Structure 1
Amino acid sequence: MSQTRSTARLMDGTALARTTVAEAAASAAEIKRRTGVTPCLATVLVGEDPASVTYVKMKQNRCAKAGIESRHVTLPASVSTAELVAAVTALSDDPAVHGILLQHPVGPHIDERAAFEAISPAKDVDGVTMHSFAAMGFGEPGFVSCTPGGIMRLLDAYDVELSGKHAVVVGRSAILGKPAGMLLLARNATVTYCHSRTVDLAAHVRQADVLVAAVGKPEFIYGADIKPGAVVIDAGYNAGNVGDVDFESAAERASLITPVPGGVGPMTIAVLLAQTVGAAARQLGLDGV
C-alpha cells in the first residue's frame, strides 16, 4: 500500500482482537479449573470451497491458542438439506459441544436457513439464527452476529459516542448490515440503511457521523463523500486486500478509520471465541466467568 496523507487515526482491530482472545482464554481456563470441562466449538463445513476450508482452519487454530476445543464436521458437497439439518441437530443435542458454526456457503441446493435454524439458540455463537436476530433487535440477552459485534467493540474501544449520532450502514445482509444497524440503534444512534436500490447513495454517506461499509464492492465509497471528522468502519474484504472504502481518500477526511486488513476482520473471530466461552459458562451454570 502506498503512503497516504492520512489525518485519521487507525482503529487497530488486530490489537483489540488479541486482547479479546486473551480474555476469552483466561475465562476458558477458569471454566476448566472449576468444572474440568473445556469449552468446545463445533464447525460444520459442506464441500471443499478453498476459502471456506482456509477460514475454518484459521478458526480451529485460534481456538487452540485460546484453550478452546474444536470439533470439525466435514460433509460432502452433495449432502441434502435433511442430512445437514440432522448433523447440526446432533451437535445441538450434544452437551459436550457449547458453540456451533455452520460455514457459509453451503451450496445452492441446500435450504441454508433450515440448516441455521437447527442450531440451538444456546449454541448460536455466530449469531445466525432468527432467535439471535430477534434478540439483537429487541435488546434481549443472546449472541450477536460476530462481525457487527466486533464493530461495536471497536467503537467502544475508541470511545466513539453513538447516542444521538447519525449512523449510515451501507449493506443489508442478514449477518452484517441488518444486525449492525440494530446494534447501533440500541445505542441510541439514528440509523439509515442504504443498499443497492438506494437513490443518491453519496448524499446519505455525506450525512454519516458513523459510516459502516458492508456492501461487498471494492473501494465503492470515496473519500470525497465522507463527512469531515466521521468515523469510518470498513467491513468489506475484497480481492487485493482492499475494503469497500477507498482508504487513502477517506483517511484524509475521517477522524477514525479501520484498515483492511487489520480492522474489522480480526474482531470477527475474536467475538466468535468470546461468545463460545460465554456459551460454555451459561450452559455449565457458571456466574462471573
Structure 2
Amino acid sequence: MLQLNVKNETSRLRAVVLGTAVSNGPTPKLEEAYDPKSALHIKAGTYPVEADMVKEMEAVAAVFKKYDVTVYRPELIKDCNQIFARDIAFVIDDVFVKANILPDRENELEAIQYVIDKINPEKVIRPPEEVHIEGGDVMLWNDYIFIGTYRGDDYADYIVARTNQEGVDFIKKTFPHKKVKSFDLNKSQTNPYDNALHLDCCFQPIGTNKAILHKEGFRDQSEYEWLLNYFGEDNCFIITKEEMFNMNSNIFSISENVIISEKNFTRLNTWLRNNGFTVEEVPYAEIAKQEGLLRCSTMPLIRD
C-alpha cells in the first residue's frame, strides 16, 4: 500500500508520478491545440518532436534517481500525450483526487491505474461532474490550499480556464481543516504571453518562505499583493512576461533546498543559488512549448 502524504510543495520528495513523452503522437492540427503556446509552435513549425522530449524527461528521471525518489511512469498509450501528469490528479494530505479533465484525456488516468490500485480506495475520490479542477491550479502550503481559477462570466468559452468556482467550493468542503484561498487568473486563448493556464504558471512557493511570482498573471491585483505580503517582497522572485511565457514559475522542488529547473532560466537559477538553493538544471525547453514545464509533468505522492 502507498501511504500518501503531501502537505506542501517543498518537503523532501519520496515518491512521484512522472509523465512520459514516449509515443506522444503526431504534431496536433492547429484546431486540436489546447492552449495558445502549443498553437504558436504548431503554426511556426517548431512544435517539439518526440525524441527531444523523451530525452528531456529522462534527464528529470535521472535527477530523481540521484535523490533516491521512487518514480512511477504511466503505462503507455499509443499516440497519446501523457507528459502532464499534474493535470489528471493530485494529492492533498493522504487523499488522491482525480481531476475532471478534458474528456479526451480520460485514458491518461487509466494509464496510472496501477498506481491508484496501491492506494487505500477510501482515500481515492472523484469530484462530481460539474466540478472542474486540475492539479496545476492546486498549490499546497501547509495550512493553506492556494487555488487558481477564472471568475469571468464567460468561463465556459475558455478551453484555457481549467478550474471553476465549483472546484474551489469542492476543495473547501472536502478539506474543511484547510484555509482555501483562490486566485482569479488572466486567460487568453490567443496570446500565450497573457495566458496563465494554471496557478503554477504565475506562482509557486519554494523553500520554506519564498515564492516565484508573476504580477500580470492575476486579474485581481489585490490577490497578487496578498501573496507578495504573505511571503514578503524580499523573499519573492518576480518574473517578467517573457519569463512567464518560458514557464519560469513552473520548476519543481525535491526538497526545501533542492530545486529542478530549466537550464536556460539563467536569471532565476542565479537567484536561487544566491539564496542557498541547490539547482539541478535539466533541458526542458522543448516540453515548455506545450505551455507546461517541470511542475506540470510531475505528480507528488509522498513527501516527508
Establish whether TM, by shorter chain, passes 0.5.
no
TM-score, normalization by structure 2: 0.34
Structure ranking higher in strand proportion: 2
Higher relative contact order (CA 8 A, sep 6+): 2
